[in-house]
Amino acid sequence: MSTVLWANQLLHGMVVSDESDKYALHRHLPKLDKLAVACGVPALSSICDGTDLRFNLQDLELPDGMTSTHEWMARDGVWVDAPEAVRLLSALLEAVLAKRPRFGLLRNDCDAVLDELREALAFAEEAAARGARFNFSIVM
């Protein structure tokens, strides 16, 4: 089982997830964090929520009245205003396109990172247009 990131939107207490596995973004999160900070934007990990991961690893029970980790994440999760996420993801995408850094030792995941950044950016832009908030959930 892999650990991946999913992009999410929060609007009026409801979470909408793209449910698209972003394996490369999760795998290379430390390097992406360094790139983000070098670009003058917050680390990518700063908009990652671990509610689902904690629920699965720690065998937690959902709070009373909740039926999913999405409800829990909506209430207590890490969220940012979507325009902030758009700024962060745009800066990362520009940096990776300009520098073409190597992601990985045995194979270079740069193209996968670029594809996943583009996909996440489009979802964040949609969230911004809707007036929603944005995060990545760490999913296992």
Domain that holds residue 23: 4-139
- Residue 1 has a pLDDT of 62
CA 77 – CA 92 distance, rounded (Å): 23
Q: What is the pLDDT of residues 71-124, one digit of tens each?
A: 989 999 999 999 999 999 999 999 999 999 999 999 999 999 999 999 999 999
Which pTM was predicted? 0.93
Residue 28 has pLDDT above 70, yes or no: yes
Number of domains observed in the structure of the chain: 1
